Structure 1
Amino acid sequence: MIVIGYIVGKDNETQEDYFLAGRSMSWFPVSLSVAATMISCNAFIGGPGWGYTNGLFPFMQNISVPLSIMLASMIFVPFLYSLRLTSIYEYIELRLGRKTRLLSVIAFLMNSLIQVSSMVFIPALVLNRFTGIDINTIIIIVVIISIVYTLLGGIKAVIITDAIQMIVIWGGVIGGLIYTFGVRDLSFYETFNTAKELGKLNSLDFSFQASIFDANGFFAATFGGTVMWLRYFAFDQAQIQRLSTSKSIKDLKKSYVISGILMNLLYFIFVLLGALLFVLFGGQSFENANDVMIMFIQNLPVGLIGLLLAGLFAAAMSSVDSLLNSMSTVFIKDIYEPYIGRNKETNLKLSMTISLFFGILIIFITIIAFSGTTSSILSVIGQYISYISGPSCGLFLLALMTDKANDKGVCIGTTISFFIMIFWVRTLGITWMWNSIIGVVLTCVFGYIISLLAKDEPTAHQLTYTIKHYRKKLLEENKLSEDGISILPFKMGMHEIILLGFFLVQFLILILISN
């Protein structure tokens, strides 16, 4: 990975090369990179652990990913892509102002530091079990490797190495599955049937109880998940930055489709693996849910163990490098240049220094925040970030979809929403999957009302950055597509139809499996 980082990054000369690969990437590596970042080591270890305990129900956490990507592709991302921005939060200042831009940046950095730190903790935990090396030492090594090749190659190295790492992940999991069933007396079919009899293949719970209190309940996961993933795929710098490296809107939409399908297929395999391991391990209890995958790896022969560990570290590094590069981009474009550098573009050397700073910060947060975690890491992270994702999504929706929202109103409304989420909503006892919807509603209501009370009308120029104005402009100019791909917001094209179809097919498959 370090050698590849050096080779692909040796031609980097400008900030755009380092952060956006000169907007020259094709759809295939970008799609693998987006998928690899989401299917991190958290899913690699946490998915089977969650599936072991709860069967296929945890797959519901991801069921709405294709729907969210469809909405992002159909409404928001073509407009944001057309602005040719380095940081998505530059848009917030163009439409609203500096206060809200800074608030959205703080939310992104908080969210990313929580996510990326967990992505370092899990491979460190596994290697600690296999080698006995101190977990803090391993955390430092993992992050330093990721820092080095990210510094050498920038976003181009991130995308190329992610694509390779995604292939390694698939190879490790499939190889492990083939071997496991090859040496057992039970066939895959028999194991599958036994898991079904034990209720491990059930996944759709429409009950009122599950809908309110269970993160895997049908309504909570489908509706709450749609908002949660919409923020991730439409308004999160880590995703939009990779997509912005695409050389055309056609490549961008292809990347969306392939990544959405790949990540859900792989996550389904992880969760299904956990359900099947429940049968293979005879229902053995584990004090730590993350130990399920560790025991699975330990039972493999030399060679496959190496491949699974390589897959684990591939998953870790593919997530760390992406978020490391994105956090550096946001800090430079949204904090350093506006407030410290006085709007002068940062040189490449300083950009790399800031990436190094964030890498060191990740090490400290990982050691402090996650040591001693015993439940599935996916569940822990989901709860942490759910209080941030709703207000962050609501902020963008106000900016993009309304004419009345202004800087002061949205900034105050988002802040009020966040504190309500922390100090009141979390005490209600409902599942955290509803937090995203609650956060969006609170932010939109408070942000809109306070914007009206503030009586600070957006300028005509600011209103050109709404979806309504963008759509009107395209219709007036009769510019409805590029390279045969629709760019008109709210118009469903071929890529969106594929994503919607895949979303519905998932339910059909789950029904067939459970019956």
Structure 2
Amino acid sequence: METLDLIILFATLLFIVVYGSLKSRNNANVDDFIKGGNTSRWWTVGLSVMATQASAITFLSTPGQAFHDGMGFVQFYFGLPIAIIIICLVFLPIYHRLKVYTAYEYLESRFDLKTRSLTAGLFLIQRSLAAGITIYAPSIILSAVLGWNLFYLNILIGILVIIYTVTGGTKAVNVTQKQQMAVIFLGLITAFILIFSYLPDDINFTKAMKIAGANDKLNVVDFSFSFDNRYTFWSGIIGGSFLALSYFGTDQSQVQRYLSGKSLRESQMGLIFNAILKVPLQFFILLIGIMVFVFYQFNYSPINFNPAAKEAVTASEYSSEFEDLEDQLITIQDQKKSLASQFAKSTANDEKNLNTELEQLNRKETELRDEAKLIISQVDEKIETNDKDYVFIHFILNNLPKGLIGLLLAVILSAAMSSTASELNALASTTTIDLYKRNKKNLQEDKHYVNSTKLFTLGWGVFAIIFACTASLFDNLIQLVNIIGSIFYGNVLGIFLLAFFIKYVRSHAVFVAAIITQAIVIFGYFQDWMPYLWLNLFGCGLVIGIAILLQVFIKKPTQIS
């Protein structure tokens, strides 16, 4: 990296930290620190909700997902607008009417303290693990590509987030996330324009899409019912709806964002703003990955984008075999470049033959890349052979001009900071309100709970850093964020749906059902019963069904007056 890139990168990050700390340093009470004084307007709520969800993994992994597998991943978000509408009509009015600080406060008024504590505990388990992963995932990729020390990079991201989250609480998170989203939008638009400008002069956007379509990258919707396909229209609409309902409706890292709204209407408008913008944003990020794919139809790409893999194989006994695969790939890429040029200028009558040739070359290329992955795994099983997360960062570092590399890296680190800040803020708030304050015998002044929340923020931040620094002991962490969420979210959502809609089910039945359900879902995941996205529906339905059965057999139902 050039000096200019480093200056832009660290100046951007420093500005965000300082600005957030200064704008929100005066928090006099718990309401200010946890709910931001209920001063946020709808655009602040909407951007904050979006920034919380858009972690660094989104901007590292999604373009690579499109590069390898096409646009089908966007189906993952099809259920989000449906979920947001339900939350705006059902969840939000209840939260605002009860003036809760956390989503789990409502469960005590509907059930009892043990159900509230159990649900808050499930949230703390899954979200604390996720906080460490959202630090570690971008750190391991950036350290591999830039050669930066992984340990210090984890600590750097964690400390920057802790500084302004401890200083300003929810208001600091909301304020900084507006700046972070501005950096993210600017960086993504700039990257798209530059990628397009790097294509040959005779390749316009329509022709670029024609080339992508010929390589099966534009198949957006899959209506199959097969569990072998992780992302389909049905898994997105059904499983995605339940995941989004759980995440936006019951996860405190999201609930806390819109509870800071100036009014119920502002909160609802902020969520609807997010629902309208989220799917197009994900589509645009995937489209950037498609444009990167088209770019590499006219330029050479590595056989594996993970630089650590290349380095390890080069120093091993398999180096000559690996180089032979690279030479074969170059030959295929030369042929594909010629076909891509022809395809962009072809008529409908020529396309059938060109399609056949492209399919054969794509099949050979896939086989070569799979052989390369096999060699890499033989050299070192710990090296990540799935290189989707390295595609976009490889393009950035090897093709963008000075200055813009720093901007795009600032996008990635800003996303890591924004999602981690929301998680730490929510973890601390839940710990203070649902566990510490609720179980403390003697009530204290507001200042005591503000200081307690700051200490819990610091504590959870240190935990996240420690987990990130030891995360190399685990595998597949990039995908683990959504998997961890799906293991817990369905159960939690079912508890809330029981609370909202099935009034005759009482606390003891729900508490026992939640414990049984969590055990079954965890067991089912490790037995690989279904794709993880469907675990949200499974867990939700299971806890509702078990709770109803238990209520029938434990005690005759009684109506709530």
TM-score (norm 2): 0.78
Equivalent position of 1:123 in the other structure: 138
* Candidates 531, 534, 548, aligned match of 1:448: 548
1:357 to 459, 476, 491: 459
Counterpart position of 2:449 = 347
Change (3 A) 1:311 1:425: closer
Cα deviation code 1:149-199 (max 9, x no counterpart): 111111111001001100100111110111122122143332221111111
Output the CA distance in 2 between the equivalents of 1:53 and 1:105. 38
Q: Is the 8 A contact 1:386 1:436 kept in 2?
A: yes
In 1, are the aligned partners of 2:78 and 2:233 still within 8 Å (CA)? no
Q: C-alpha displacement at 1:323, in angstroms? A: 0.9
Amino acid of the residue matched to residue 213 of structure 2? K
Cα offset, 1:297, TM superposition: 1.1
The corresponding residue for 2:218 is: 201
Deviation at residue 372 of structure 1 after TM alignment: 6.9
**Alignment partner, residue 88 of structure 1:** 103
Q: Secondary structure at the match of 1:199?
A: coil
* 1:290 equivalent in structure 2: 389
Q: Per-residue CA shift, 1:211-235, capped at 9, x if unaligned?
A: x232202212210110010111111
Q: Counterpart in 2 of 1:65?
A: 80
Where structure 1 has 5 or more consecutive residues not aligned to the other structure, the ranges are: 464-515
Residue equivalent to 1:192: 209
Per mean C-alpha deviation after superposition, the further-off stretch among 326-335 and 365-374 is: 365-374
For residues 300-339 of structure 1, the aligned pairs below 5 Å read 300-339=400-439
The answer on whether the counterparts of 1:191 and 1:276 sit within 8 Å (CA) in structure 2 is: yes
CA 1:10 to 1:422, structure 2 compared with 1: closer, same or farther past 3 Å?
closer
Are 1:118 and 1:370, in contact at CA under 8 Å, matched by a contact in 2?
A: no
RMSD over aligned CA atoms reads 2.0
> C-alpha distance in 1, partners of 2:159/2:463?
11
Choose from 504, 519, 530 the match for 1:430.
530
Q: 1 CA distance for matches of 2:277 and 2:414?
A: 16
CA deviations on 1:428-451 (whole Å, 9 max, x unpaired) are 542112111110110001112213
The one-letter code matched in structure 2 to 1:447 is: A
Of the three residues 29, 54, 57, the one matched with 2:44 is 29
Q: Residues 24-49 of structure 1, C-alpha deviation per residue, up to 9 Å, x if partnerless? A: 21111111111111111111111112
Residues 403-424 of structure 1: per-residue CA shift (max 9 Å, x gap): 1221111011011111111113
1:368 matched to 2:470 = yes
Asked if 1:404 is matched to 2:504, the reply is yes
1:139 correspondence with 2:154: yes
Distance 1:51 1:143, change over 3 A: same
Q: What CA deviation, in whole Å up to 9, does each residue of 1:360-389 have, x standing for no partner? A: 0001122333567568x2x43222221111
Query: Which residue does the alignment assign to 1:279?
Result: 294
Question: What letter is aligned with 2:394?
Answer: M
Q: 1:102 to 1:24 in 2, by over 3 A?
A: same
Distance 1:18 1:137 in 2: 29
3-state DSSP of counterpart to 1:392? helix
Q: Partners in 1 of 2:205 and 2:108 — Cα distance?
A: 55
Q: Deviations over 1:468-492 (max 9, x none)?
A: xxxxxxxxxxxxxxxxxxxxxxxxx
**Partner of residue 507, structure 1:** none
Whole-angstrom CA distance in 2 between matches of 1:74 and 1:67: 11
8 A contact 2:195–2:295 mirrored in 1? no
**Aligned equivalent of 2:348:** none
Deviations 1:290-342 (A, max 9, x none): 11111121121111101101111111111111111110000001111122464
Instruction: Please tell me the residue identity of whatever aligns with 2:219.
Output: N
SS in 1 for 2:470: helix
Q: Distance in 2 between matches of 1:130 and 1:56?
A: 25
Alpha-carbon offset, residue 426 of structure 1: 4.3
Q: Compared with structure 1, are the counterparts of its residues 458 and 98 closer, same or farther at alpha carbon in structure 2 (3 Å cutoff)?
A: farther
- Partner amino acid for 1:369? A
Shift of 1:9: 1.8
2:86 aligned with 1:104, yes or no? no
CA distance in 1, matches of 2:431, 2:556: 28
Residue pair 2:504, 2:559 contacting (<8 A) in 1 also: no
* Range moving further from structure 2, 175-184 or 448-457: 448-457
Separation in 1, partners of 2:513, 2:98 = 26
Higher mean displacement: 192-201 or 1-10: 1-10
SS at match of 1:439: helix
Counterpart Cα distance in 1 of 2:497 and 2:96: 16
Q: Distance in 1 between matches of 2:182 and 2:468?
A: 26
Distance across 2 between alignment mates of 1:92 and 1:341: 20
Residue 413 and residue 275 in structure 1: after superposition, are their counterparts in 2 closer, same or farther (change >3 A)?
A: same
Unaligned runs of 5+ in 2: 1-15, 305-384
Residue identity over aligned pairs, in percent, reads 29
Answer with 52-61 or 322-331: which moved more. 52-61
8 Å Cα contact 1:220-1:433 kept in structure 2? yes
Q: How many residue pairs get matched? A: 457
After TM superposition, list the pairs within 5 Å mapping 1:376-387 onto structure 2: 377=478, 379-387=479-487
> What is the deviation of 1:114?
2.9
CA distance in 2: counterparts of 1:126 and 1:154, whole angstroms? 29
**Which of 414, 417, 430 is residue 517 of structure 2 equivalent to?**
417
**Separation (CA, whole Å) in 2 of partners of 1:140 and 1:68:** 36
Alignment-mate amino acid for residue 239 of structure 1: Q
Aligned residues of 2:17 and 2:176 also touching (Cα < 8 A)? no
Pick aligned residue for 1:232 from 247, 252, 273: 247
Q: Does the Cα contact within 8 Å between 2:138 and 2:416 map onto a contact in 1?
A: yes
Task: Look up the match of 2:189.
Answer: 174
Shift of 1:289: 1.5
Kindly indicate whether the alpha-carbon contact (under 8 Å) linking 1:278 and 1:284 is maintained by their aligned counterparts in 2: no
Contact 1:398 1:448 in 2 (8 A): no
> Which letter maps to 2:465?
I
Range 5-14 or range 90-99, more displaced: 5-14
Decide whether aligned partners of structure 1 residues 374 and 421 sit closer, same or farther in structure 2, where only a CA change above 3 A counts: closer
Letter in 2 for 1:103: L
**Cross-structure match for 2:490:** 390
Worse-superposed segment, 110-119 or 250-259: 110-119
Instruction: Give the Cα separation in 1 of the matches to 2:242 and 2:51.
Output: 21
Determine the C-alpha separation between the residues in 1 that align with 2:559 and 2:459: 38
| 2:149 is aligned with 1:50 | no
Give the AA of the match of 2:454.
M
In structure 2, C-alpha distance between the alignment counterparts of 1:332 and 1:459, rounded to whole Å: 32
